[in-house]
Amino acid sequence: MKRKERSIEVVVRAVVIHQNKILFAKLKGGDYYFLPGGHVEFGELLEVALAREFLEEVDVIPKKPTLLGIVENNYLEKGIKHHEINFVYRVTLNRYDLKALESHLSFHWVPVKMLKNEKILPVRMKQQLLMWVKC
C-alpha cells in the first residue's frame, strides 16, 4: 500500500524476549535492526494488526500482548516525510525458532546486554527499549 505524504502512519511493534535475547527484524542488506511488527490497516485493532504481521512474517501468533508504551517518530525516506506513531507491546510466543517468510526480511536474536552497542532504529525506540528492559 502506498502511503500518502502528510498522513500519520500507525504502527504496531513487539518486544519479544527469550533467553535474555530480544527479537529484531532487519531488511536484507540493511545495516540496522528494528522491532518486528508493521502498519495497522484502517479499521484494524492494534492487537489484531500485530497478530496479522507476525503471521505474515514468521507464521506465529504473539501471546499475552501488554502495551509497553508509544514511540513517535519522524523521518525522511526517498524524499518523503514520514510521521509514525508506534504502539509497542511486550509479547510471548509459543515457539522461538523463527524463519522469515518474507524475502526482504531476516530475524535476529540480540542479547539484551548488547543492545547499547547495536544500531536500532528509530533512535527514540532504542532509547525507550533500553529503559523498558533496564539495560
Helix (H, G, I), strand (E, B) or coil at 25: strand
User: Please, what is the Cα angle at 85 between 79 and 88, to 5 degrees?
Assistant: 130
58-102 confidence digits (pLDDT tens)? 999 999 999 999 999 998 888 889 899 999 999 999 999 999 999
Mean pLDDT of the 19-43 span: 96
Tell me the CATH number at 103. 3.90.79.10
The answer as to whether 39 is a domain residue is: yes
Helix (H, G, I), strand (E, B) or coil at 6: coil
The answer as to whether 3 is a domain residue is: no
What is the CB-side half-sphere exposure of residue 35 using CA atoms within 13 A? 29
The answer as to whether 2 is a domain residue is: no
Helix (H, G, I), strand (E, B) or coil at 75: strand
pLDDT band at residue 7 under the 50/70/90 scheme:
confident
The answer as to whether 85 is a domain residue is: yes
The answer as to whether 63 is a domain residue is: yes
Number of folded domains in the chain? 1
Which one-letter amino acid corresponds to residue 72? Answer: E
Please state the separation of Cα 101 from the chain's center in Å: 16
For 44-69, letters b (16+ CB in 10 Å) and e give eebeebbbbbbeebbebebeebeebe
Of 42, 36, 34, 43, the C-alpha closest to 12 is: 36
CA 119, CA 129: separation in Å to the nearest integer?
12
Mean pLDDT of the 17-35 span: 96
Residue 124 in contact with residue 73, Cβ under 8 Å?
Answer: yes
Of 93, 75, 76, 68, the C-alpha closest to 13 is: 68
Greater confidence (1 vs 117) lies with 117
Give the structural domain span for 75. 8-132
The answer as to whether 24 is a domain residue is: yes
